[in-house]
Amino acid sequence: MTLQLFGHPFSSYTWKVLIPLWANATPFEFRMVDPAHPDNGAELKRRWRFGQFPLLVDEGRTVAESTCIIEHLDAHHPGPHRWIPDGELGRRVRLLDRIFDQRVMTNMNAVVWDALRPQEERNPADRRVARERLNTAYDWLDEDLDEGPWAVGEQFTLADCAAAPSLFYADWVEEIGPARPRLAAYRARLLAHPAVARAVDEARPYRPYFPLGAPDRD
Protein backbone atom coordinates (compact mmCIF):
# COMPACT_ATOMS: atom_id res chain seq x y z
CA MET A 1 0.00 0.00 0.00
CA THR A 2 1.34 3.43 -0.95
CA LEU A 3 2.03 5.98 1.73
CA GLN A 4 -0.67 8.65 1.87
CA LEU A 5 0.07 12.22 2.96
CA PHE A 6 -2.81 14.54 3.81
CA GLY A 7 -1.93 18.21 3.48
CA HIS A 8 -1.94 21.38 1.40
CA PRO A 9 0.87 22.75 -0.82
CA PHE A 10 0.80 26.20 0.86
CA SER A 11 1.05 24.76 4.38
CA SER A 12 4.46 25.23 6.01
CA TYR A 13 4.23 22.02 8.03
CA THR A 14 3.12 20.09 4.94
CA TRP A 15 6.27 21.39 3.22
CA LYS A 16 8.31 20.07 6.12
CA VAL A 17 7.18 16.52 5.28
CA LEU A 18 7.10 16.87 1.49
CA ILE A 19 10.76 17.89 1.46
CA PRO A 20 12.12 14.60 2.91
CA LEU A 21 9.67 12.52 0.87
CA TRP A 22 10.87 14.16 -2.35
CA ALA A 23 14.54 14.27 -1.34
CA ASN A 24 14.58 10.50 -0.74
CA ALA A 25 12.30 9.79 -3.74
CA THR A 26 9.89 7.97 -1.43
CA PRO A 27 6.70 6.93 -3.28
CA PHE A 28 3.52 8.38 -1.78
CA GLU A 29 0.03 9.58 -2.67
CA PHE A 30 -0.72 13.22 -1.89
CA ARG A 31 -4.25 13.78 -0.60
CA MET A 32 -5.12 17.44 -0.93
CA VAL A 33 -7.12 18.89 1.94
CA ASP A 34 -9.21 21.81 0.70
CA PRO A 35 -12.88 22.57 -0.07
CA ALA A 36 -12.56 20.97 -3.51
CA HIS A 37 -11.65 17.61 -1.92
CA PRO A 38 -14.15 17.17 0.95
CA ASP A 39 -13.60 13.40 1.18
CA ASN A 40 -9.94 13.95 2.05
CA GLY A 41 -10.86 16.40 4.80
CA ALA A 42 -13.43 13.97 6.21
CA GLU A 43 -10.90 11.11 6.17
CA LEU A 44 -8.29 13.31 7.85
CA LYS A 45 -10.74 14.19 10.64
CA ARG A 46 -11.77 10.55 11.02
CA ARG A 47 -8.17 9.47 11.46
CA TRP A 48 -6.97 12.44 13.55
CA ARG A 49 -9.46 14.01 15.92
CA PHE A 50 -7.69 17.39 15.78
CA GLY A 51 -8.26 17.56 12.02
CA GLN A 52 -4.86 19.15 11.36
CA PHE A 53 -2.39 18.31 8.62
CA PRO A 54 0.06 17.02 7.67
CA LEU A 55 -0.96 13.47 8.44
CA LEU A 56 0.73 10.33 7.14
CA VAL A 57 -1.01 6.98 6.68
CA ASP A 58 1.30 3.98 6.32
CA GLU A 59 -0.35 0.56 5.83
CA GLY A 60 -3.32 1.75 7.86
CA ARG A 61 -1.18 3.27 10.62
CA THR A 62 -1.76 6.96 11.28
CA VAL A 63 1.25 9.16 12.05
CA ALA A 64 0.62 12.77 13.08
CA GLU A 65 2.84 15.84 13.65
CA SER A 66 5.53 16.72 11.13
CA THR A 67 8.58 15.85 13.23
CA CYS A 68 7.08 12.50 14.21
CA ILE A 69 6.25 11.79 10.56
CA ILE A 70 9.86 12.43 9.54
CA GLU A 71 11.08 10.19 12.38
CA HIS A 72 8.71 7.49 11.06
CA LEU A 73 10.09 7.89 7.55
CA ASP A 74 13.65 7.67 8.88
CA ALA A 75 12.85 4.41 10.68
CA HIS A 76 10.55 2.67 8.19
CA HIS A 77 11.28 4.19 4.77
CA PRO A 78 15.02 4.97 4.76
CA GLY A 79 16.72 6.50 1.74
CA PRO A 80 19.92 8.31 0.83
CA HIS A 81 19.32 10.98 3.48
CA ARG A 82 19.43 10.10 7.17
CA TRP A 83 17.10 12.63 8.76
CA ILE A 84 18.12 12.21 12.42
CA PRO A 85 21.73 11.10 12.93
CA ASP A 86 22.85 9.21 15.99
CA GLY A 87 24.59 10.65 19.00
CA GLU A 88 25.53 14.25 19.60
CA LEU A 89 24.82 15.30 16.02
CA GLY A 90 21.30 13.92 16.30
CA ARG A 91 20.73 15.85 19.52
CA ARG A 92 21.86 19.02 17.76
CA VAL A 93 19.44 18.29 14.90
CA ARG A 94 16.56 17.85 17.36
CA LEU A 95 17.39 21.14 19.09
CA LEU A 96 17.39 23.04 15.80
CA ASP A 97 14.15 21.36 14.76
CA ARG A 98 12.54 22.74 17.93
CA ILE A 99 14.08 26.20 17.36
CA PHE A 100 12.72 26.43 13.83
CA ASP A 101 9.28 25.12 14.79
CA GLN A 102 8.78 26.89 18.11
CA ARG A 103 10.89 30.04 17.90
CA VAL A 104 10.55 30.86 14.21
CA MET A 105 7.39 29.20 12.87
CA THR A 106 5.25 29.80 15.95
CA ASN A 107 6.04 33.52 16.08
CA MET A 108 5.60 33.90 12.32
CA ASN A 109 2.21 32.20 12.59
CA ALA A 110 1.18 34.52 15.44
CA VAL A 111 1.56 37.53 13.14
CA VAL A 112 -0.23 35.79 10.27
CA TRP A 113 -3.16 34.59 12.37
CA ASP A 114 -3.62 38.06 13.82
CA ALA A 115 -3.83 39.44 10.28
CA LEU A 116 -6.57 36.92 9.51
CA ARG A 117 -8.75 38.15 12.38
CA PRO A 118 -11.47 40.75 11.82
CA GLN A 119 -10.03 44.25 12.15
CA GLU A 120 -11.75 44.88 15.50
CA GLU A 121 -10.21 41.74 17.02
CA ARG A 122 -6.58 42.33 16.02
CA ASN A 123 -4.00 42.89 18.72
CA PRO A 124 -0.99 45.11 17.86
CA ALA A 125 0.70 44.24 21.17
CA ASP A 126 0.64 40.52 20.38
CA ARG A 127 2.06 41.16 16.91
CA ARG A 128 4.83 43.33 18.35
CA VAL A 129 5.84 40.64 20.86
CA ALA A 130 5.80 37.95 18.14
CA ARG A 131 8.03 40.07 15.90
CA GLU A 132 10.43 40.77 18.77
CA ARG A 133 10.69 37.05 19.51
CA LEU A 134 11.19 36.31 15.83
CA ASN A 135 14.10 38.77 15.71
CA THR A 136 15.59 37.15 18.81
CA ALA A 137 15.44 33.78 17.03
CA TYR A 138 17.06 35.28 13.93
CA ASP A 139 19.91 36.72 15.99
CA TRP A 140 20.51 33.42 17.79
CA LEU A 141 20.50 31.46 14.53
CA ASP A 142 22.83 33.91 12.78
CA GLU A 143 25.35 33.42 15.58
CA ASP A 144 24.81 29.71 16.24
CA LEU A 145 24.31 28.01 12.87
CA ASP A 146 27.13 25.91 11.47
CA GLU A 147 29.15 27.40 8.64
CA GLY A 148 27.23 25.16 6.31
CA PRO A 149 26.10 24.37 3.87
CA TRP A 150 23.32 22.98 6.06
CA ALA A 151 22.14 23.46 9.62
CA VAL A 152 24.56 20.88 11.04
CA GLY A 153 27.23 20.98 8.37
CA GLU A 154 27.43 18.74 5.32
CA GLN A 155 24.36 16.58 6.02
CA PHE A 156 20.82 17.68 5.00
CA THR A 157 18.67 16.62 7.97
CA LEU A 158 15.41 17.06 9.85
CA ALA A 159 16.71 20.47 10.96
CA ASP A 160 16.82 21.66 7.35
CA CYS A 161 13.37 20.23 6.64
CA ALA A 162 12.08 22.39 9.51
CA ALA A 163 14.18 25.42 8.56
CA ALA A 164 13.08 25.67 4.92
CA PRO A 165 9.38 26.48 5.40
CA SER A 166 9.85 28.41 8.62
CA LEU A 167 12.50 30.75 7.22
CA PHE A 168 10.76 31.03 3.86
CA TYR A 169 7.53 32.37 5.35
CA ALA A 170 9.07 34.15 8.35
CA ASP A 171 11.16 36.33 6.04
CA TRP A 172 7.90 37.47 4.43
CA VAL A 173 6.60 38.52 7.85
CA GLU A 174 9.82 40.01 9.25
CA GLU A 175 12.78 40.27 6.89
CA ILE A 176 15.99 38.61 8.00
CA GLY A 177 17.90 41.46 6.36
CA PRO A 178 21.59 42.06 5.55
CA ALA A 179 22.51 42.46 9.22
CA ARG A 180 22.25 38.65 9.55
CA PRO A 181 24.37 37.46 6.60
CA ARG A 182 24.87 33.86 7.73
CA LEU A 183 21.16 33.27 8.24
CA ALA A 184 20.23 35.02 4.99
CA ALA A 185 22.78 32.94 3.07
CA TYR A 186 21.48 29.76 4.68
CA ARG A 187 17.92 30.62 3.64
CA ALA A 188 19.12 31.18 0.07
CA ARG A 189 20.88 27.78 0.04
CA LEU A 190 17.73 26.11 1.32
CA LEU A 191 15.59 27.66 -1.41
CA ALA A 192 18.05 26.37 -4.03
CA HIS A 193 17.76 22.76 -2.79
CA PRO A 194 15.75 20.79 -5.39
CA ALA A 195 13.13 19.49 -2.94
CA VAL A 196 12.65 22.91 -1.36
CA ALA A 197 12.49 24.62 -4.75
CA ARG A 198 9.76 22.17 -5.75
CA ALA A 199 7.78 23.03 -2.61
CA VAL A 200 8.12 26.75 -3.37
CA ASP A 201 6.95 26.26 -6.96
CA GLU A 202 3.99 24.05 -6.10
CA ALA A 203 2.80 26.63 -3.56
CA ARG A 204 2.98 29.59 -5.95
CA PRO A 205 -0.68 29.43 -7.08
CA TYR A 206 -1.81 29.98 -3.48
CA ARG A 207 0.23 33.11 -2.71
CA PRO A 208 -2.78 35.45 -2.99
CA TYR A 209 -4.11 33.79 0.17
CA PHE A 210 -1.19 35.07 2.26
CA PRO A 211 -2.87 37.77 4.37
CA LEU A 212 0.14 40.10 4.58
CA GLY A 213 0.86 40.06 0.87
CA ALA A 214 3.43 37.75 -0.71
CA PRO A 215 6.59 39.49 -1.97
CA ASP A 216 7.85 38.96 -5.51
CA ARG A 217 11.44 38.30 -4.44
CA ASP A 218 11.10 34.53 -3.83
Output DSSP code: residue 11. -
Distance of CA 87 to the CA centre of its chain: 24
Residues 150-182 pLDDT 10s: 999 999 999 999 999 999 999 999 999 999 999
User: Which domains, ranges and CATH numbers included, belong to the chain?
Assistant: 3-76 (3.40.30.10), 87-209 (1.20.1050.10)
Q: What is the pLDDT of residues 53-111, one digit of tens each?
A: 999 999 999 999 999 999 999 999 999 999 999 999 999 999 999 999 999 999 999 99
The whole-model pTM stands at 0.95
